[in-house]
Every structure is written in structure tokens, then in C-alpha cells.
Amino acid sequence: MALLARARQLEAEGRSIVHMEIGEPDFVTPAPIIEAGIQALQMGRTHYTPAAGLPALREIIAGDYRQRFGVDVAPARILVTPGASGALQLITALLVDPGSRVLMTDPGYPCNRNFVYLYDGEPVAVPVDAEHAYQLDSATLRAHWSGNTVAALIASPSNPTGTLVSRARMAELLEAVRERDGHLIVDEIYQNLSYGEKPCSALELGDDVFVVNSFSKYFGMTGWRLGWLVAPEACVAPLEILAQNLYLAAPTLAQYAALAAFEPRTLAILEQRREQFQARRDYLLPALRSLGFVIPQAPEGAFYLYADCSRFTADSFAFCNELLETAGVAITPGIDFGSYAAERHVRFAYTTSLEQLQLGVERIAHFVDR
Ligand SMILES: Cc1ncc(COP(=O)(O)O)c(C=O)c1O
């Protein structure tokens, strides 16, 4: 965020900046969703919805799970939330007591540990490497699970690495967590942004998982603040009470707009965008590798490349700052995602046009060549 602020400041001073640090799609929300939002406003849909969300939206989300994955999820198990952020906060509010531990990957999405801290819990950052696709597996989970551990939190595809948890590995993780009477939380926010094998949903493996998702990334609705969670049946009532107390309900306007999110005409637009992200990845991955960044595995999803930059620097934070100040390219240092090997890593986001990415690569090439 500080880096983004500095990039914007440089831009305001007239510098040209290539943005490869931004964690949201550059596309605006698809027109059918915007139209549904405008219509909702004109119809005076400006009051609270039920805390768990509009029944019609919960039905539509359940229908999508049926269609996409062949799983029956009762709409009653779906809670519509203010973004995946709202969902993650509800889950941690429910599961975390003072001293409770939650396992998560390092590198990983930075806010996760703070959600746990918020309830006086203890995030346990588990170092993960490229050879394990930067994801937890059941052996590492077992090694790090202790008496106070209540849950493991994974994201597939992940931020910052774009890597997936395979179905087999997800099943093993779930089994290991069940053996320990714990919970598995799976953040599937980037699920529809995948470029190879279709990622599985944890919901295919059981109804005792917590699954988090969002309209932010694939649907291009970051600013509308809308997501959802699917919870085990027994947890729905307490989660609803938490929602009522913490934020009353997710934004009404966003919920009405999202009713159009799964319409075929919207999905056609989103599929084209997914293809554009894939084309960007297919350009950027070999381009960065040829410059000397090490990206051992081709990431299968999200819009990030997590790269080892140790050929150029032993301090990725300084590298990012210098790259921004000198070459006008903004990327994110590893420290934003944890501490494990952070000084050797940077994250590139391909949330800008192919032309901008090409310009960015040119500038980086000059920068590392100096
Ligand atoms: C892995 C992951 N989870 C959750 C979020 C939060 O997203 P939302 O906008 O849905 O709150 C993000 C945002 O970058 C993310 O990368």
C-alpha cells in the first residue's frame, strides 16, 4: 500500500509508472452487473437485507456450485458478506478464542494473520516452498499442529503465488484436520481465474469445510464489497448472529447488482477477461524468466507471479523501491506476504494491459542490466 501510494505520488509529479503491484483487475465491473445495480437504486432498494444476504442471491450462488462442481450446497449454508474479508472475519470471530492457533502459509495473504490477531489468537505462519507449490500439505500440517490449533487456512489459487492445492492434497489436508477435530478454511477467491486444470472446490470433499469466495476478483467488483462464505450447517446460526452484530448485512446495492453476475451474458464477458489474464501470464512468465527471475512452477491461477529475485539483490524491499524510483515500475516486495525468504522474493501482478506489461519488462531489463 505504501508502495502504491509512492507510485501514485510519482505519477502525480508527471512520471510514467507501470503498475504491477495492484491486486485487483484493471477491468471495470461488467455492464450487466452495473445495469442491475442502477436499476436496484432506481427501484429504491436502499434498505438493509437479511444479515445472511438476499435469499435470491444465496440461491444463485448455490446453483453455481451445482452447475460448476456438481455439488449440492443448501442456500441456507451460504452467507453473503462484505467481501471475502467479511467472510474471513466472521470465521475467525467464530473459531478463534484467545490463544487459539490458526495455521497458514508463509508466503500468504497478509490480512489473514491480522484477522486472527483481532481475536487474540495466534497465527502460525508455516514456511512453504516452490517444491510444495507454496501450499500446505498434510505432513507439514501435522508437524505444525499443536494443542491450541483450531484451524488451517489455505487459499487455492493463492495470493501471492497463484498456485493451487490439488484435489488429492486438499482431501489429505481435510482428513488430517478432521483427525484433530479442527477446521479447514479454504479461500477460493481466485477459483474462477485459473488457466489450466480446473481447480477443485473444497465443497466437493465434504460439508464440514469453511469456504470463502468473493465477487471482487473474477467478477471485477472489488469496490462493491461483496463476497460469501459457505459454512458447515451447525455454524450458520452463530455466524448469522456475528454478522448481525458486526456489520448488519452486506451492501444492499451490491447484492442486487450481483444477481446479474451469473447470467450467461455476464459470464461470457468474464470468460473473455479470464482469457486476457491467461495471455498476460503466458507473456510475462517466460519474459521474467529470461531476465533471470526464478519462477520454478508456472502458476495456474490468480493474476500473480511470485519470483525469486536473488540473482539481482539480497534485499527485495530495497530492490522494489529502487525499481520504482529509478525505472518507474511498481512491484511488491516479499515482506508483504510473510517473512520466510521474503528478502529473496517479489510479486508481479498482471493486472494491467499487455502493452504495459511489455513496457514494464523493457524497463526492468534495463534496470537489472545496469
Ligand atoms: C487471497 C485473498 N483473500 C481475500 C482477499 C480479500 O478480498 P475481498 O475484496 O473479497 O475482501 C484478497 C484480496 O486481495 C485475497 O487476495
Atom of ligand 1 nearest to the CA of 302: 16
Question: Ligand 1 centre from 144 Cα, in Å?
Answer: 25
Query: How far is it, in rounded angstroms, from Cα 189 to Cα 6?
Result: 28
Question: Ligand 1 centre from 104 Cα, in Å?
Answer: 15
Question: Ligand 1 centre from 13 Cα, in Å?
Answer: 30
Whether 167 and 204 have beta carbons less than 8 Å apart is answered as: yes
Query: How far is it, in rounded angstroms, from Cα 95 to Cα 153?
Result: 12
Ligand 1 site, CB within 6 A? 23, 83-85, 109, 155, 159, 187, 189, 214, 216, 222, 227
Alpha-carbon torsion, ordered 261, 262, 268, 269, to 10 deg: 10
3-class secondary-structure state, position 139: helix
State the DSSP string of 269-292. Answer: HHHHHHHHHHHHHHHHHHHHHHHT
At 256 the pLDDT is 98
User: Which of 4, 80, 88, 109 has most ligand 1 atoms within 8 Å of its beta carbon, as the pocket-test mutant?
Assistant: 109
Atom of ligand 1 nearest to the CA of 227: 10
Query: How far is it, in rounded angstroms, from Cα 57 to Cα 257?
Result: 10
Nearest CA to ligand 1 atom 2: 109
At 297 the pLDDT is 84
Atom of ligand 1 nearest to the CA of 155: 1
Whether 243 and 255 have beta carbons less than 8 Å apart is answered as: no
Atom of ligand 1 nearest to the CA of 108: 1
Nearest CA to ligand 1 atom 13: 23
Question: Ligand 1 centre from 351 Cα, in Å?
Answer: 15
Atom of ligand 1 nearest to the CA of 87: 11
Q: Which residue has the cell 510519482?
A: 10
Q: pTM higher than 0.85 for the full model?
A: yes
At 89 the pLDDT is 98
- Where the chain has pLDDT below 50, the residues are none
* pLDDT tens per residue, range 312-327: 999 999 999 999 999 9
Question: Ligand 1 centre from 19 Cα, in Å?
Answer: 19
Question: Ligand 1 centre from 189 Cα, in Å?
Answer: 7
Nearest CA to ligand 1 atom 14: 23
Cell (9 digits) for 364? 526492468
Nearest CA to ligand 1 atom 4: 84
Question: Ligand 1 centre from 365 Cα, in Å?
Answer: 31
Question: Ligand 1 centre from 85 Cα, in Å?
Answer: 6
Question: Ligand 1 centre from 227 Cα, in Å?
Answer: 9
Element (H, E) at 158: none
Question: Ligand 1 centre from 112 Cα, in Å?
Answer: 10
User: Which of 1, 85, 192, 347 has most ligand 1 atoms within 8 Å of its beta carbon, as the pocket-test mutant?
Assistant: 85
Query: How far is it, in rounded angstroms, from Cα 301 to Cα 193?
Result: 5
